[in-house]
Amino acid sequence: MTKPPPSPPSLADLRQEIDTIDAQVHSLLMQRGDIIDRLIQVKQTQEVGSAFRPAREADMMRRLVQRHRGILPLDTVESIWRVIISTFTYVQAPFSVHADISASEPAMRDSARFHFGFTVPYVSHFNAPAAVEAVARSKGDLALVSATASRTPWWIALEPRDAPKIIARLPFVERADHPAALPVFVVSRVADSAMVTEVETWSVRVSGWNADTARALSPLADIVAVPDTAFDGAALLVSVAAGHLEKVKAALIETGASVRSSALVGSHATRYTVPNGTAK
């Protein structure tokens, strides 16, 4: 005689399991806070400024996407981890997010809240130069500016050696249905050892910039261009794979343009593309 299949667990049993898991998650977050408290003591982060670690953060997010499975939307998981990382960074060394709202204030606010949560103060600015200037005056703040278009070449202010730099490009997890899809650069001061350098961002000033030149460069790099009447050309913000700027310069020359100057103004991780909005 075969035994009957076990009866399914009751709703009360399942809810108890959820309550147990919730308590464990909360306990682990508090344990993480205890470790951060000890980290502050060891590193004296509040005295040295920025606590941002772009390379470590990119590695954490890649591992998060790669191991994710189940019915919980990737959007939710990504946002939870972003808020955890940002909040604990804020606990180490308080900072504010300065956002350029000239393109779209709602979209920029969505990006800031998705990636940094509500604990980190949010300060809006009417243009990118103002947001970048606020960061330059601060001890460890960061700015969010458009990564695809600009009315002014704000990145020129990042050329001096002691100026803030581009440290990240968001969203890091790229997909068509991302709830905070506005492409933005993150600008701040970060230790060289903490930077991720898979993609370099360069300020390049050229003469002879035109539509044909732009088309020739599009397969080689992501470019934001602003007319530069002083040189009858353009000020470019060029995002290119590390070590590949010379290919961009060669393409410029081949199309009749001339490079007047170039300066490294930051770097960031290669974006993680998730096909069809789902994690592999």
| Domain boundaries of the chain, sorted by first residue | 49-196+268-277, 200-266
Q: Cite the beta strand spans of the chain per DSSP E.
A: 97-100, 122-125, 142-146, 165-170, 173-174, 184-188, 199-207, 222-228, 233-241, 258-268, 272-273
Whole-number pLDDT of residue 48: 47
pLDDT digits (tens, 9 = 90+) for 72-110: 988 899 999 999 999 999 988 899 999 999 988 999 999
In the block, tokens 């130069």 appear at 129
DSSP assignment, residue 152? S
Give the integer Cα–Cα distance in Å for 23 and 26.
Answer: 5
Percent of the chain at pLDDT exceeding 90: 64
* Claim: this prediction has a pTM higher than 0.85: yes
Reduced to 3 states (helix: H, G, I; strand: E, B; else coil), residue 127 is: coil
pLDDT digits (tens, 9 = 90+) for 104-132: 899 999 999 999 999 999 999 999 999 99
Reduced to 3 states (helix: H, G, I; strand: E, B; else coil), residue 103 is: coil
- Which class in CATH covers the domain with range 200-266? alpha beta
Cβ-proximal residues to 207 (8 Å cutoff; 6+ apart), any chain? 231, 232, 233, 257, 258, 260
The torsion region of residue 246 among left (phi > 0), alpha (psi -120 to 50) and beta comes to: alpha
Pairing of strands 97-100, 142-146: parallel
Give the integer Cα–Cα distance in Å for 65 and 205.
Answer: 38
Please state which CATH number belongs to domain 49-196+268-277: 3.40.190
Report yes or no: 260 and 233 within 8 Å, Cβ to Cβ: yes
